[in-house]
Amino acid sequence: MRSKVLALALLLPLAACGKQVSAPATQGVTDAAMSQPPAGEWLTVAGDHNETRYSPLDQVNDKNVSQLGLAWSADLDTARGQEATPLMHDGVLYVSTAWSMVKAYDAKTGALKWSYDPKVPRAKLVDVCCDAVNRGVALYGDKVYVGTLDGRLVALDQKTGKEVWSKLTIPEGSHQAITGAPRIVKGMVVLGSAGSEYFSRGYIAAYDAQTGNQVWKFYTVPGDPSKPAEGKHLEAAAKTWSGDFWKTGGGGNVWDGITYDPVTNLIYFGTANAEPWNPAKRGGTNQKAGDSLYTASIVAVNADTGAYAWHFQETPEDRWDFDSTQQVIVADLDLNGTKQHVIMHAPKNGYFYTLDAKTGNFISGKPFVQGINWASGLDPVTGAPKINPEARYEVTGKPFLGFPGAIGAHSWTPMSMSPKTGLVYIPVNNTPQVYAPDPDWKPGTTGFQLGIDASGGNIPADKAVRAGTMAAMTGALVAFDPVTGTEKWKVPYTSPTNGGILSTAGNLVFQGTAQGEFRAYTADAGKQLWSFPTQSGILAAPMTYTIDGEQYVAVLVGWGGVWDVSGGKLVSKMTPNISRLLVFKLNAKGQLAPMPAMADRVLDPPPFTGTPAQLAMGSKIYTNSCSVCHGNVAVAGSLNPDLRHSAALGNPKLWQQIVHDGLLSQNGMVAWKDQFSPDQIEAARIYVVKRANEDKALGDK
Ligand code: HEC
């Protein structure tokens, strides 16, 4: 019944071509203002419609940035990953924080104007890979919009922070979640959801900004074949899948980049990986991988109706978790003497793509990292990858040491393009990964649904091997010339997953690092000019604004997201996790409170008494279901408890109460009783006991 009503609701606005949308905002943040942001304001999460994250402000520049100092800071109320870029309108900064909370500050003084908490149930944490993060809010008219981790789209009053309306946008009871920033398009709020590891069918949808009513919805992967397809593009896509893939969802979620281009009236967005990762487990037995459209693709739809316009699949046959969800930048490039309206994209798979914005036609695809081995290159005409046969691990049955790995050569941390230098600044990761099929895998109930055996990625308890592996995990800031397809300059980092980028007309590029520094470089040459110690790692991208003639630069600090290992290294609690909003201006002299001392811990595990069979079982369970939050080989960073230190480690009964029964589910540690038996859960404890003893022997803390 429910689905019939829904289908009808879908058809109506489509038939009317989106005419149902309420009148566009005429006051406050209008469409015109978003197209041409007033000088000094930052109205959309990426600063402008083209998603360039470039600011024309140049009061802070390469001559004086060394005088940049802390104007004010605000401590946030969670010690979790912070990924949002603040917005600034009319002297107020609007920012979302962990658990989808929203805060408004006086942008000049830092005084908190209001704070909103959607009260996301903490057990929802199990439906996200990478922490309870949120990447930003949208402003329109007199409202603020936020997508919540548990799938609601909420409209708030800009002045008071009071909820105006709230709509559940994910299917009821589903494992999908929202971490991305909504975008505003002609009176609509456009938003997708995350979940391509959790029984999810990807989609993007538009909602009336005044009422929250759905205007259109576009599914990125086909559904149950016994029901009519929701569009011709899905009939075509269904031919690229096999078996009963739709039972595990298919993936292709639209969890981050969404760009509206007024020139073409198209919305471009990237889609996530295919689900489960192992194509042989997408339905039936030993299925051959099809292209699995429209996963790992850029798709364009008509902004008014959501009708399919074109797609370009960056990673066909995805089995490496190669999301294409990164932000899409629109630009007019001078290519071989002709001006072309293009989109640019740097997905996880390591190639930088330039496509014709109107048609999606491939223009160029060049590597922005060295050492890509899942493909030997791209077809120069079509852009299709030449896939390395060894990378098809489910076909060979052998582990494949892939580069890039699932963290991606570039993930959601936003890149920026400066029209002044013509360069695109990409936060790059060098993170290889072992992919191995798990022939025994069956869909479960709780947590990740991958179909692979992740234990090949377990870092051995050997000092030299560990050091070598960690040394191989690095990052970089790469300045890439999209016209020549080559790297112009590069700043290497000792660890991956550094922050997003802001470039400015002051010949500056700002970026925070995983190691806890906020830095400024020259945009033309990559020379470091300034740095501020932020105490905790930075993932978020900065923004800039002016008030009363003074330019400010703001960034969120707070380590989290993927890879819960302090500063990207396999060291437990190396840095604390203090979440803050930091705001800088010239000649300010603010100081952060001194860092709290880290508690000195010693590893003191009970003796290992398990059997080899228990250890093997426990290792597999821990690796595939627990490590996503508690860290590789049970070494956790600053986000979730390091289980080697847990009081429950020597108390099997308490361990069962926590893991099996869900004693701590209100704090984000769900019950695993539907997925694992008490024996399996005990085996996970035995594995962690073993790991703790190994690390104690190595002298770890
Ligand atoms: C989605 C993230 C997530 C996953 C996956 C996860 N946990 Fe947790 N776990 C948490 C959080 C958050 C806490 C802290 C809860 C609190 O603060 O009370 C926690 C706490 C615990 C604790 C108590 C630690 C202490 O403080 O003494 C144990 C034991 C534990 N988890 C075991 C496991 C095991 C075993 C698995 C895999 C079957 C697992 N967890 C999977 C998030 C997770």
**How many angstroms is it from 630 CA to the middle of ligand 1?**
7
Which residue's CA lies nearest to atom 39 of ligand 1?
Answer: 626
Integer Cα distance of 67 and 60 in angstroms: 9
**How many angstroms is it from 566 CA to the middle of ligand 1?**
17
Is the pLDDT at 119 greater than 80? The verdict is: yes
Give the active site residues: 321
Residue 18 CA neighbour count, 13 Å, CB half = 20
Which residue's CA lies nearest to atom 3 of ligand 1?
Answer: 629
The two three-digit tokens of residue 453, written as one number: 């055996």
- By CB atoms closer than 10 A (0-12, 13-18, 19+), residue 307 is middle
Ligand 1 atom nearest to 639, measured from its CA? 12
Mean pLDDT of the chain: 92
Rounded mean pLDDT of 58-78? 97
Which residue's CA lies nearest to atom 38 of ligand 1?
Answer: 626
Contacts of residue 128, Cβ cutoff 8 Å, sequence gap at least 6: 149, 177, 179, 194
**How many angstroms is it from 99 CA to the middle of ligand 1?**
17
For residue 276, cis peptide bond before it (omega within 30 degrees of 0): yes
Calculate the alpha carbon distances from 556 to 78, 540, 615, 639 in Å. Answer: 12, 6, 41, 16
Among candidate residues 294, 124, 101, the one with its CA nearest the CA of residue 203:
294
**How many angstroms is it from 652 CA to the middle of ligand 1?**
15
Ligand 1 atom nearest to 676, measured from its CA? 38
Asked if 100 and 148 touch (Cβ cutoff 8 Å), the reply is yes
Q: Give the pLDDT score at 284.
A: 63
* Residue entry with tokens 């070494």: 635
Rounded mean pLDDT of 81-96? 97
Ligand 1 atom nearest to 643, measured from its CA? 24
Ligand 1 atom nearest to 127, measured from its CA? 1
Which residue's CA lies nearest to atom 21 of ligand 1?
Answer: 669
Integer Cα distance of 9 and 3 in angstroms: 10
The preferred substitution site among 603, 649, 664, 670 for testing ligand 1, maximizing ligand atoms within 8 Å of CB, is 664
**How many angstroms is it from 665 CA to the middle of ligand 1?**
9
Ligand 1 atom nearest to 668, measured from its CA? 12
Is the pLDDT at 9 greater than 90? The verdict is: no
* Residue entry with tokens 């990924």: 83
The two three-digit tokens of residue 667, written as one number: 């704090």
Rounded mean pLDDT of 477-503? 96
Task: Classify 512 in phi/psi space as left (phi over 0), alpha (psi -120 to 50) or beta.
Answer: beta
Integer Cα distance of 391 and 373 in angstroms: 8
Looking at per-residue pLDDT, the higher value among 269 and 244 belongs to 269
Q: Give the pLDDT score at 564.
A: 57
Per-residue pLDDT band for 597 (boundaries 50, 70, 90) equals confident
Cα torsion 128, 132, 135, 139: sign = positive
Q: Give the pLDDT score at 336.
A: 87
- The alpha carbon of residue 350 and the mean position of all alpha carbons in its chain are separated, in whole angstroms, by 16
Q: Which of 196-210, 257-271, 570-584, 645-659 has the lowest mean pLDDT?
A: 570-584
Pocket of ligand 1 (CB under 6 A): 125-126, 447, 621, 625-626, 628-630, 640-641, 643, 646-648, 655, 658-659, 664, 667-669, 672, 684
Q: Give the pLDDT score at 630.
A: 92
**How many angstroms is it from 291 CA to the middle of ligand 1?**
36
Which residue's CA lies nearest to atom 27 of ligand 1?
Answer: 646
Among candidate residues 134, 149, 271, the one with its CA nearest the CA of residue 202:
271
**How many angstroms is it from 118 CA to the middle of ligand 1?**
23
Among candidate residues 559, 564, 535, the one with its CA nearest the CA of residue 642:
564
- By CB atoms closer than 10 A (0-12, 13-18, 19+), residue 274 is buried
Integer Cα distance of 17 and 6 in angstroms: 17
**How many angstroms is it from 242 CA to the middle of ligand 1?**
36
Q: Give the pLDDT score at 188.
A: 98
Q: Give the pLDDT score at 572.
A: 58
Asked if 235 and 229 touch (Cβ cutoff 8 Å), the reply is yes
Calculate the alpha carbon distances from 328 to 207, 485, 635 in Å. Answer: 21, 17, 35
Cα torsion 423, 424, 427, 431: sign = negative
- The alpha carbon of residue 386 and the mean position of all alpha carbons in its chain are separated, in whole angstroms, by 27
| 364-388 confidence digits (pLDDT tens) | 999 999 999 999 999 999 999 999 9
Rounded mean pLDDT of 164-179? 97
Is the pLDDT at 420 greater than 50? The verdict is: yes
Q: Give the pLDDT score at 101.
A: 98
Residue type (1 letter), 529: L
Q: Give the pLDDT score at 700.
A: 84
Contacts of residue 191, Cβ cutoff 8 Å, sequence gap at least 6: 147, 153, 169, 178, 180, 182, 183, 204, 205, 207, 258
Contacts of residue 622, Cβ cutoff 8 Å, sequence gap at least 6: 630, 634, 684, 687, 688
Integer Cα distance of 154 and 87 in angstroms: 17
Q: Which of 36-45, 441-450, 459-468, 571-580 has the lowest mean pLDDT?
A: 571-580
Q: Give the pLDDT score at 558.
A: 92
Contacts of residue 19, Cβ cutoff 8 Å, sequence gap at least 6: 13
Q: Give the pLDDT score at 567.
A: 45
Among candidate residues 477, 499, 508, the one with its CA nearest the CA of residue 490:
477
Q: Give the pLDDT score at 467.
A: 82
Q: Give the pLDDT score at 67.
A: 98
| 225-261 confidence digits (pLDDT tens) | 999 999 999 999 999 998 888 888 999 999 999 999 9
Contacts of residue 136, Cβ cutoff 8 Å, sequence gap at least 6: 45, 83, 84, 85, 86, 87, 95, 96, 181
Which residue's CA lies nearest to atom 9 of ligand 1?
Answer: 669
Is the pLDDT at 521 greater than 50? The verdict is: yes
Backbone φ, ψ for residue 573 (5° rounding): 50, 40
Is the pLDDT at 599 greater than 80? The verdict is: no
* Residue entry with tokens 């840095």: 575
Q: Give the pLDDT score at 575.
A: 61
Per-residue pLDDT band for 462 (boundaries 50, 70, 90) equals confident
Ligand 1 atom nearest to 626, measured from its CA? 37
Integer Cα distance of 556 and 74 in angstroms: 10
Per-residue pLDDT band for 410 (boundaries 50, 70, 90) equals very high
In angstroms, the first-to-last Cα distance of the chain is 57
Is the pLDDT at 14 greater than 50? The verdict is: no
Among candidate residues 547, 540, 637, 549, the one with its CA nearest the CA of residue 598:
637
Looking at per-residue pLDDT, the higher value among 262 and 462 belongs to 262
Ligand 1 atom nearest to 649, measured from its CA? 29
Which residue's CA lies nearest to atom 36 of ligand 1?
Answer: 626
The preferred substitution site among 629, 632, 633, 663 for testing ligand 1, maximizing ligand atoms within 8 Å of CB, is 629
Q: Which of 16-30, 140-154, 319-333, 567-581 has the lowest mean pLDDT?
A: 567-581
* Residue entry with tokens 């361990």: 655
Return the percentage of the chain with pLDDT > 90, whole number: 80
- By CB atoms closer than 10 A (0-12, 13-18, 19+), residue 267 is buried
Which residue's CA lies nearest to atom 11 of ligand 1?
Answer: 669
Which residue's CA lies nearest to atom 10 of ligand 1?
Answer: 669
Asked if 43 and 63 touch (Cβ cutoff 8 Å), the reply is no
**How many angstroms is it from 564 CA to the middle of ligand 1?**
13
- By CB atoms closer than 10 A (0-12, 13-18, 19+), residue 137 is buried
The preferred substitution site among 126, 149, 604, 630 for testing ligand 1, maximizing ligand atoms within 8 Å of CB, is 630
